Amino acid sequence: MAAVDLATHPGHLARRLQQAHYLLWNTMVSEEITSPQFAVLNALVAEPGLDQRTVGERVGLDRSTIAEVISRLGRRGLLDKVRDPGDGRRFLLRLTDEGLRVHRKLTVRTARMNQVFLAPLSAGEQAVFFDLIQRVADAAEGLRNPAEPVAAPR
């Protein structure tokens, strides 16, 4: 059997992109705050007072991952959990002053990192890249709990 061309395998290319992103994130943005943690901070800047489940949906993290991210951010003093006055079983999340400060600092750094990450593409190519990768990511979200199982190719 012959080797396959991994350049035609989206999962392989996505992994390589993720490795590049991880390297740039750690060198240009933060070694302490991860990209998923920043996404949570960002979601709470955009919509303060969301509950944990909704934040997870907004940033594309599963239940166990969002729980761990929220826990770590809370231990760092970057967010607080406040009991929902309308539903005592639910907690709402709000950034602390330190969480807002960290978000502002990282926002500047992520903008610089994204410039480096996307430097190989022209502005027009970047727009196409974002459109295509967003469409694939949106479709992939549906694969987590598909209404109908996806048929395997024959």
Q: Which of 21, 13, 47 is nearest to 110 (CA)?
A: 21
The Cβ of residue 123 has, within 10 Å, a number of other Cβ atoms equal to 7
Average pLDDT over residues 137-153: 67
Per-residue pLDDT of 13-44, as tens digits, reads 999 999 999 999 999 999 999 999 999 999 99
pTM more than 0.95: no
Q: Is the dihedral of CA 22, 23, 27, 28 positive or negative?
A: negative
At the second CATH level, the architecture of 15-141 is Orthogonal Bundle (1.10)
Per-residue pLDDT of 95-144, as tens digits, reads 999 999 999 999 999 999 999 999 999 999 999 999 999 999 888 877 76
Domain ranges of the chain: 15-141
